[in-house]
Homo-oligomer: A and B are copies of this chain.
Amino acid sequence: MPKSVTLKDVAAKVGVTSAAASMALSGHERISEKTRAAVKQAAEDLGYVPSSAGRALRSQRADAVALVVPNSSAHVFGHLYFMHVLTGMSTAANAHDAQVIVSTNADTSNGGVAYERVMRSRTADGAIVTSAAIDDHHVEGLVASGLPVVLIGNYPHLADAVSVGIDDVAATEQLVEHLVTEHGRRRLLHVSGTLDHQTGIDRRDGFLRAAEMHGLTDVAVIEGDLAEESGAAAVEQVLRERTGDERFPFDGIVFANDDMAVGGLAVLRRAGVSVPGDVAVVGFDDFGFARVTTPGITTIRVPAEEMGRIATERLFDLVDQRPGGRAHTELGVEVVLRGSCGCDPERAAAPGPTHSH
């Protein structure tokens, strides 16, 4: 492993002090044009890159931001959602010449959680926290500590925290509205996310509120956990509990995310229940799966990449002590219509892949 080139090496080559070399590289005016050029040339020749540790120690700034993945969402690490958030973070971080650190929350050993250590050790100047459970006190502690943190999602109990999110209630209402108004569905099932996360609560509340507004009486909620299997399990439960001759007791299912919709769709298919013929299905997220199933899943497009990007911009505002705007930034969402609700007839009517000739 090659010894790394320091500022001293560069300075020595030119015959100035390292202090002068530092100023030369940063374009300080007190260094003559000639010396400045010589130092820059020497730095280039030697392949000099400033030591991040030296610089961080001196400037009290790591030039890095961390993405925190709390324990409570460990099972969804590996999900495209994080990749989208990470992509957005990278875009913003690159613009600020900062590194992106991914902090999965392994070490709960020393009484503290990993991401708190990341912050306190100043490895990162600030953190983005996403998918935290409502009762995750570590998040509250972090926010309360005054360290720069931006939350992705809605945290009503942390009203002062800077956060970026969407309106899950309104978005879910839109989906229900669509099923009722456009497709005449009135017997609706909601398969919710975990109710210890605000998104789980909000999407369920949106469902219930819209159902009430439309005077729907045949509605039910089954609690899921956002995993594909839990969507499958919910549908299996309905199939098991239906009375004898019933085809399917609901004519629409609102899954709290696409993964569960995928799982539910597979079970419906195997049971010979037609989608959208017998049951209309909608999901939430649009991170990829919803586009490739047959039929495609009507869903809400969550702008995860933009959330990551904006959250990171807000985080730099905090780190640089720029007077922030609103504590919460709300991004718009979009309903994406596909075959599973009965829309997009071209696609829905196309021969299925198992069609024989």
Contact = CB atoms under 8 A, between A and B. Distances in A.
A339 interface: yes
A217 B103 CA distance: 52
Interface in A256-283: 262, 265-266, 268-270, 272, 274-275, 277-278
Interface stretch (A14-22, A92-100, A150-158, A205-213): A92-100
Interface in A118-164: 118, 120-123, 145-148
A323 interface: no
Contacts of A111: 44
B47 A53 contact: no
Contacts of A301: none
A243 interface: no
Interface of A: 1-2, 4-5, 44, 47, 49-54, 56-57, 62, 64, 77-80, 82-84, 86-87, 90, 94, 97, 99-104, 106-107, 111-112, 114, 116-118, 120-123, 145-148, 247, 262, 265-266, 268-270, 272, 274-275, 277-278, 288-289, 292-295, 305, 321, 339-340, 347-357
A355 B49 contact: no
A293 B123 CA distance: 42
A321 B1 CA distance: 9
A274 B356 contact: yes
Given A87-B78, A292-B293, A107 B122 contact: no
